[in-house]
Amino acid sequence: MLELQGVVKRYGRFEAVRSLDLSVARGQIFGFLGPNGAGKTTTIRMVAGVLQPTEGRILVGGTDLAIDPEQAKSRLGYIPDRPFLYEKLTGGEFLRFVAGLWGKNGNGTEERADRLLELFHLSEWKDELIESYSHGMRQKLLITSAMIHQPELVIVDEPMVGLDPRSARVLKDLLRTFVDQGGTVFLSTHTLEVAEVLCDQIAIIQTGEIIAHGTMEELRNHARTGAEAGDAGLEEIFLKVTGGEDVADVVHALQGSLAR
């Protein structure tokens, strides 16, 4: 469903993403993890068509994003980490606007919007201006707008930011249902517990390169965590492959000294 072939992104002499090759199969939640500054958000924005790669190709459902961007983008929904919205529109007007961009106006789309708004307890806010929404409500409206045109691929950058526990659970269930019905999710998050529970495949990026990729079991084998390899959690694996164990040791030592 999503394929990156030799994707590079440079800013002057700085290479944020280095010759990235990645394939995401249809019908799975694919986790894309990495430390701060690793190249996650740059990659996400290139996949969403917000940034252009310096080199390489990005294919969405077989459509080259550079050659036919309108067709490629019509097949995906994008949930960025910050909800920038048109504040002088109501929630309902914003959803109609987004749906209209992809030719999805009509009663069916209105009904779909109502169902999604109800899921996130936004129905009573449908006709209120977005400027009156809280940060969490804006995030929920943004999630709804990404699903409104029935995309095949949903790109998600830090999905749980600003969400209350109920809405976070609704989003998890929504993404899993979307995938069970044949959709695909490409998800970037710092919340490793979410990735471990949700994701079918996980790739870890560092300094612009993929350093580990596979299922949880394959990542455990890659990390070579010793006698406890069979039950190592994603946090332990992540620290192992990114070199974060040294930081963890410092924190534990500091905690020990403070406890004395």
- Spatial neighbors of 84 by CB under 8 A, at least 6 apart, are none
- The domain boundary residue, chosen from 97, 128, 150: 150
Widest CA span in the chain = 67
Task: Please indicate, yes or no, whether residues 70 and 103 belong to a single structural domain of this protein.
Answer: no
pLDDT in tens, 163-198: 889 998 999 999 999 999 999 999 999 889 889 999
Terminal C-alpha separation, the chain: 54
Task: Please indicate, yes or no, whether residues 233 and 143 belong to a single structural domain of this protein.
Answer: no
Task: Please indicate, yes or no, whether residues 88 and 182 belong to a single structural domain of this protein.
Answer: no
Task: Please indicate, yes or no, whether residues 28 and 146 belong to a single structural domain of this protein.
Answer: no
Nearest-angstrom CA–CA distance, 198 and 184: 12
Place of tokens 């994008």: 78
- Domain residues for the domain of 242 are 217-260
Task: Please indicate, yes or no, whether residues 53 and 175 belong to a single structural domain of this protein.
Answer: yes
- The domain boundary residue, chosen from 150, 172, 201: 150
Task: Please indicate, yes or no, whether residues 138 and 157 belong to a single structural domain of this protein.
Answer: no
DSSP code string of 97-136: HHHHHTT--SHHHHHHHHHHHHHTT-GGGTTSBGGGS-HH
pLDDT in tens, 1-47: 999 999 999 999 999 999 999 999 999 999 999 999 999 999 999 99
CA angle 244/162/240 to nearest 5° reads 10
Specify burial of residue 129 (Cβ count, 10 A radius: 0-12, 13-18, 19+): middle
* Domain total of the chain: 3
Residue 160: is its pLDDT beyond 90?
no
Task: Please indicate, yes or no, whether residues 95 and 141 belong to a single structural domain of this protein.
Answer: yes
Q: Which two tokens stand for residue 255?
A: 């905690």
Task: Please indicate, yes or no, whether residues 66 and 157 belong to a single structural domain of this protein.
Answer: yes
Task: Please indicate, yes or no, whether residues 2 and 71 belong to a single structural domain of this protein.
Answer: yes
Residue 130: is its pLDDT beyond 90?
yes
Task: Please indicate, yes or no, whether residues 42 and 146 belong to a single structural domain of this protein.
Answer: no
- The domain boundary residue, chosen from 129, 150, 171: 150
Task: Please indicate, yes or no, whether residues 57 and 101 belong to a single structural domain of this protein.
Answer: no
Task: Please indicate, yes or no, whether residues 1 and 70 belong to a single structural domain of this protein.
Answer: yes
pTM comes to 0.87
pLDDT in tens, 209-231: 999 999 998 998 877 654 455 56
Helix (H) or strand (E) holding 155: strand 153-157
What is the CATH number for 29? 3.40.50.300
Nearest-angstrom CA–CA distance, 41 and 80: 9
